[in-house]
Amino acid sequence: MLKQSPCPVHLHITSLTPGTATQVLLSTQGAENWKVERSPKPPWELFDKSKIVILSPDSENVIESFDMDKVYMIGGIVDRSVRKARTLGKAATHDIQTARFPIQEVLPERRTHILNIDHALKIICGHLHTNDWHKVLSECVPMRKVRPLLSSAVAA
């Protein structure tokens, strides 16, 4: 996706310990050839904690725009199931700020505001390119995650 995108991001995969199931899985997907930085260290050891923003669907802070001086952390690469507020707990433990995409505000018909990493990255790149939340979220949020709008007419 990033090969075709004019998106000005630099990706890091952190907390990637050699020999773990995650590292082995990524290897089977060809991760060694990806143009990303890899590190066994967690992000709070690689970057200034005051510049990290953990993206969490449970955050009360809504992103209005992206600050190019910040490091935005997409969590969940190893999550096999949704665990409510897990990223908030991790952020609190390390005193790191959190934020979420304005999905509930822009797409109130959305059933859930939890996205996979690919969709989150597309949203970030799309917003950096267009600065238009409605356009980006409408294009990037999978339709299977949107409730059909109920018609005001009832069939007899």
Which band of pLDDT confidence, cut at 50, 70 and 90, is reported for residue 11?
Answer: confident
The neighbour count for residue 40, using CB atoms within 10 Å, is 13
Give yes or no for a contact between 38 and 31, defined as CB atoms under 8 angstroms apart.
yes
Choose the weakest-confidence range: 86-90, 96-100, 120-124.
86-90
Greater pLDDT, 153 or 25? 25
The model's pLDDT over 44-91, given as tens digits with 9 standing for 90+, comes to 999 999 999 999 888 999 999 999 999 999 875 444 455 667 778 888
Burial (CB count <10 Å: 0-12, 13-18, 19+), residue 42: middle
pLDDT over threshold 70, residue 42: yes
Select, from the ranges 12-16, 74-78, 83-87, 110-114, the one with the highest average predicted confidence (pLDDT). Answer: 12-16
Report the distance separating Cα 133 and Cα 136, nearest Å: 5
Give yes or no for a contact between 55 and 72, defined as CB atoms under 8 angstroms apart.
yes
Give yes or no for a contact between 55 and 74, defined as CB atoms under 8 angstroms apart.
yes
User: Exactly one of 79, 95, 118, 132 is catalytic; which is it?
Assistant: 79
Alpha helices by DSSP H, the chain: 21-28, 43-46, 86-93, 103-106, 117-130, 133-140
Report the distance separating Cα 47 and Cα 6, nearest Å: 24
**pLDDT value, residue 151:** 44
Q: Is 48 a catalytic site residue?
A: no
Which band of pLDDT confidence, cut at 50, 70 and 90, is reported for residue 2?
Answer: low
